[in-house]
Amino acid sequence: MERISSGDAEICFDIAGSGPAVVLLHPFPVCREFWLPIAEFLSTCYRLIMPDLRGHGDSGLGDGPATMAKHAGDLARVMTAAGVDRAPIVGVSIGGYVIFEFWRQFRERVSALALCNTKAGPDSAEARAGRLQAAEDVLQKGTEVFFEGMLPKVLAESTRRSRPDLVEGALRMMRKMSAEDVADVQRGMAERPDSIPTAQTISVPTLIITGDEDTATGVLEAEVMKQNIRGSEMKVVAKAGHYSPWEQPQEVGRLLRQFLDSLHRN
């Protein structure tokens, strides 16, 4: 594990494999361990940069809400520390939100994108209020109730029924976050802007992946991104929820490998 200072927080990241660099951004509220099953498919040909986002895993939170602007600044510093000037970036859920902000600030450092189980639009007023309430609740009631409540939102019903190991692994990663981490990451997500106009400016090869059982974003949100990102392609993974790379690493690994390999053939 490597560590850097980024503003008011310490950010941790791992590097695995060798070859052209690829950055992997995990979803909320887990950590870089999320990518280990995928790393098996990619690390033989690619150098994987896997940070813990601010407030997740081993990375610090800093002061106040973990905004997308802070996450994007952290990512730029991680890439610089890893000796990466420009690379494809893969992001799941909040990782996708960070990608849109990173594109706004640092698009010259992006060579391709994979947007997994995420969306370009902002939270609705109802969803934003729900995030802010969840931030208050977790500070009052602790994290365990919150994490247990997240499982049906992030894991497919078929995963929860047939793969208790994946359920327990997700919980183990979640439990690295404190109540304060959860609250200020939620507040940061609630503040994020509408990224549909940003999506319309994306000019690099883009792969969109979702799960057929993703109830958090899913096919409809993936279609919105596809319609707004010129030349993008979309894939739907069977028996996968919001954490499709964790639930179906073989299929998502195959899709990512195919996409990344195509960049070097062109």
pLDDT in tens, 187-201: 999 999 999 999 999
Q: Is residue 265 within a helix (H) or strand (E), and if so which, with residue range?
A: helix 249-265
Rounded to 5 degrees, φ, ψ at 257 are: -65, -45
Q: Identify the pLDDT of residue 266.
A: 57
Q: Which domains does the chain have, with CATH numbers?
A: 2-265 (3.40.50.1820)
Q: Identify the pLDDT of residue 264.
A: 83
Q: State what percent of residues in the chain have pLDDT above 90.
A: 98
- Residue 75 to residue 146: CA distance in whole angstroms: 27
Three-state secondary structure string covering 150-175: HHHHHCCHHHHHHCHHHHHHHHHHHC
Mean pLDDT computed over 199-215: 98
Q: Identify the pLDDT of residue 265.
A: 75
Q: Does the pLDDT value for residue 82 go beyond 60?
A: yes
Q: Identify the pLDDT of residue 90.
A: 98
Structure confidence at residue 158 as a pLDDT band (50, 70, 90): very high
